[in-house]
Chain A
C-alpha cells in the first residue's frame, strides 16, 4: 500500500477505517490529515515573525508626501534631558540640536509608542494567561469567518492557530516597540519625517496588538464571536440596584471581572450582586454576561465613585484616574488592584487566603489589596462586597464635607444625607421617598452655593469651558437648571475641584443638581459583537468600494468631547439616517447610547447590528477597534482578492484609494486613542478628531488647493484626480465641521459615477445643513456632469464654471505606490 507522507512515498502496513483504496492506490486519511496539520503548523512555527519596517518606511514617505505633517506645539520647550529646559519657540534649536518641528514629531512618536505599548502589554497579559490555561486551544471566531486575523496575516504572513503563535507575534511586537522608544532618546533620530514614519509604525503595531488581544480574549473567555444579533445590556448611572452589594470594575482587562462573574455564577449569587463596569471593562463584562451592568464611559468615573454607590472597586488597567486611591479612601470604598501596571501602593496579597484578605480589609487593617491572581480576585471581590453590605459599611455621598458643613446640613434636614436611608437610617427611614431624596440632594448643595465666591477659577480650568461660575450665580438665585445641564457635558476631569479656592466639590454639585436625571438614567445598548463576518463583507464589498454605500464611519476613542456626549450620538444618528455603516468601539460605543428618541429608544434599538447599509455595529471595547480596520482589510482581500500575506503596502494602498471608511475619534484623549488613530492612518484610513485633539500636536493634511497627482496602476500612467481622501488626520473645530469633514473623507478616487453622485449628494446636503451654503471645493470632486447632485445642479454648475472646471476621466486602479 502506498500513502503520501511528507516528501516521501512510503509503504504502510495499516489498513483500517480511514483507508480508501482506488484501483489499488490506498490512501490513509488519518495520516494525510496529520501530515497536513503538521505542515500548516510547521509553516507557522518555522516562519520567522518580523515586520519589514524598511519596506513599510518607503510607503510612509510616499504617504507623507501626500499628507504632510502639520504641527501645533502645546509647549514651546523641551524638558527631556539635563541640557534643558530648552526654549524652542520660533522653531529654534535646543542644546541637543533638535528644533521645535522635530521635537513635535518626537513627542508624537512617544505618544504613539506609549499607546501601542499599553495595548501590547494588555495583549501580552491575555496571551500569557491563555498560554498558562490552554496553550493549544484552537483560535477561531464564528464558523463563517475564515479570514481570522486580517491585520496579523497581512503584517506577518501567518494566521495564528493557538496561544503559542500569539506569543511569538507578541515577541516581535515587543522588539519593535523597544526600537521605536529608543529612537526618541536624546541624540538618536534627527529627521521629522523619520519620527513620523516611526509614529505610524507604532500605530500600526498598536492595531496588531489590538487584534491579538481580541483573538486571545474572545477565545479564552468565550465572548461574542461575530454574530450580528447579540443581546442588549443596560447602561447608565441609574442601573445599579443600591440594595445589593455593588462591585465596580474599572479599566480594560477582562480577566478580573470575568472571574468575579464566574465565581458569582458558580455560587449562584449573581442575581444578588450588582457587578458593574466603567470604561472598556464594562464593555468586556457585557460581552461576558448580560447580567452585568454598564455604568458608563470614562467621563463618569469621578462622579460615580464620589456618589458613594460602589461598595467595592476592582481595578485592572488603563484609563484609571491617578487619584482613585484617595477618592475611594474619602468614600470608604476598598480597592482591589489586579495588575503590576496599576498597584497603587497596596500590599501584595496574591498568595494569601482570600478569607484572610477579606477580613483584613473589613477590619480596616488595609485599605485594599493587590491580588495578581484573577481567580482569587473573583472570590475575594464577591465575598468582600457581600460582607461590606451585610455589615452596613455604607458611605456618605458627601464625605468631603467638613463637620461644620455637615452640621448645617443636619440642621436643614432631619436626614444626615448618608444615603443609607433606604436600608438603614433609623430616625427618618419611614418618611423618605426617592423624591425627598432628590430634594435632600439639592439641599446638600446649599452650603456650597453659599460659600462660592464667584472667583471664576473653575471656569478658567474647565477643559470644556463650561460656565460653572455662571451656574453658581444662578444657583444663588435658586435656579439650578444650568448646573444640572452640565451633566453629560462635563467630561469628569475634576480640574475645577483642584482650582477652587473654597474646596467646593464641584463634581458632587453637578451630580446633586442632576440627581433626578442620574437616578433614572437607564438606556439599552447592544453588547460588543467582535469581528465582522466574511459573508457580510461579501455582501457590502462592492457597494462600499464603488460608492453605493456612501461610507463607513468608525467611531472610536474617549469622552473628551467639546460639548458633551450628545455630540457623538448626533454624529452616529446623522450618518445612520443617510445609510452609512456606523461602527463603534470603546467609550464612543457607550456614549451614543445615552440618548433616547421620542419613543424612548436608543440608536441601538432603532438600527440593526449588521455590517450593512444603516447598520450600527458595536464592535466592543477599545481593542475591538481592530475589527474596524480588519473589516477594511477584509474588503480588500475577500472582495478584491488582494492577497494578505506580507502585503501591507498593497492592502493599505487599496484601502486609501478605494474604501470609503473614515474614523471619527471625537473625544480622543489618551495616547492609546492617538495610537489607534495613527494606526488607522497607516492602513490608509483617515481620521477626524475632536477639537481637543489639536493638543496631540500633529495632524496629517492634504493639499486642498489643487488636484492630486496619483498613479493609475491599470496602465502605469500618472493621473490628476481629486484630493480624496483630502486629509489623513484632521482636528475639527466643531460638531458641524466634523459632519462635513467625515462626509468628504469618505470620497475615494475609485468611486463609480453613481457612487460619487451618492457621496456628493450626502456631502452637499450635510454641508448645507451644517454650514448653510454649498461647498466651494465641489469642483475638485465632480469628475463629470453625471456626478452632480440633481437637486443643486444649477448652483453647482455655477461653482464649476467659476473654477474653470473641465470633465476628467477617473483612474481605473488608483494608487499612490
Chain B
C-alpha cells in the first residue's frame, strides 16, 4: 500500500491496519487522544458522528483542530480546541502533562486533518516522538503514521469506521 499522494513517502511506511486491529490498538492504549481535524467541516456529518462514537466508547479525549469544533459543537460535543501544529509540538515533549494533567499520551488517533499538513505532523511525531504511537483513521493511507487505514472509497471508509466501533465493545 502506498501513500495517497505519491510524493509523500517514508523509509519505514506505516502498517496498514484493519478496523479490528485498530480497535485492539485503541483498547490496549492506556492514555489515548483523538485528533479531529478541519475536514470534518467539509465532509458529510456522519464521519464526525462516527468519530465521536469511537471517542465516547473508549472515553478518549477529543481535540478539535482547525475549526472542526464548529461541527462538533453542532453535534453537542465540547472538544478541547488547539492548533494541530501546537498540539504536535506539545506531544513531542515527553514531559507534557496533557489536557487532563495526567501526562503525555501513548496513542494519538487522527481523522480529518488535511492530508499534507497531517502528513507533516505525523513526520514530526515519527522522527522526534518515539514515546508516542500514531494511528490514522483517515480515508487515505498515511505513510508517516505508525498504523494507518489504507486508501479507500468513501463508502468503504464509512464501513471501516463502523466496524471499528463494533470492535470496540
Contacts and interface: CB of A to CB of B under 8 A. Distances in A.
B4 interface: yes
Contact of B66 (A71, A699, A730, A733): A733
A544 to B, nearest CB: 26
Nearest to B113: A733
B11 A77 contact: yes
Contacts of B12: 89
A761 B37 CA distance: 26
A734 B70 CA distance: 13
Contact of B117 (A91, A100, A691): A691
A207 B120 CA distance: 28
B38 A737 contact: yes
Contacts of B114: 465, 562, 691, 733-734
Interface string B62-89: 0011110110011000101101111011
A463 B4 CA distance: 11
A736 B66 contact: yes
Interface residues of A, number: 44
B37 A773 contact: no
A109 B80 CA distance: 35
Contacts of B29: none
A465 B8 CA distance: 13
Given A771-B70, A772-B70, A733 B127 contact: no
A100 B9 CA distance: 16
A461 B5 contact: yes
A224 B74 CA distance: 50
Contact of B69 (A72, A89, A692, A773): A773
A681 interface: no
A731 B127 contact: no
Contact of A460 (B5, B10, B41): B5
Given A89-B126, A731-B117, A736-B66, A741 B6 contact: no
Interface in A737-768: 737, 740-741
Contacts of A70: 85, 88-89, 92, 124
Given A461-B5, A773-B78, A694 B66 contact: no
A737 B66 contact: yes
Contacts of A735: 67
Q: How many B residues touch the partner, as a band?
A: 35 or more
A311 interface: no
Contact of B85 (A465, A731, A736): A731
Contacts of B81: 771, 773, 775-776
A695 interface: yes
B123 interface: yes
A101 interface: yes
Interface in B3-30: 4-7, 9-12
A31 interface: no
Nearest to A726: B86
B85 A90 contact: no
A460 B85 contact: no
A505 interface: no
A101 B127 CA distance: 9
Contacts of B84: 733
Interface in A36-94: 70-77, 87, 89-91
B113 A736 contact: no
A704 B65 contact: no
B92 to A, nearest CB: 8
Given A76-B10, A733-B84, A90 B38 contact: no
A692 B115 CA distance: 10
A91 B11 CA distance: 13
A540 interface: no
Nearest to A769: B70
B115 A465 contact: yes
Contacts of B67: 733-737, 740, 770-772
B123 to A, nearest CB: 5
B120 A695 contact: yes
Contacts of A77: 11
B121 interface: yes
Contacts of A737: 38, 65-67, 83
A87 B127 CA distance: 11
A228 interface: no
A506 interface: no
Contact of B128 (A71, A691, A773): A71
20 contacts: A70-B88, A71-B127, A72-B121, A72-B124, A460-B4, A691-B117, A694-B121, A731-B117, A731-B120, A732-B83, A734-B41, A734-B66, A736-B70, A737-B38, A740-B67, A771-B64, A771-B69, A773-B69, A773-B78, A776-B81
Interface of B: 4-7, 9-12, 37-38, 41, 64-67, 69-70, 73-74, 78, 80-81, 83-86, 88-90, 92, 113-117, 120-121, 123-124, 126-128, 130, 151
List the 5 closest A-B pairs by CB distance, nearest first: A736-B67, A733-B66, A734-B38, A734-B66, A694-B120
Interface of A: 70-77, 87, 89-91, 100-101, 460-461, 463, 465, 499, 562, 691-692, 694-695, 699, 701, 704-705, 730-737, 740-741, 770-773, 775-776
Given A72-B120, A76-B11, 7 more contacts: A70-B88, A90-B130, A691-B114, A731-B117, A736-B41, A737-B65, A776-B80
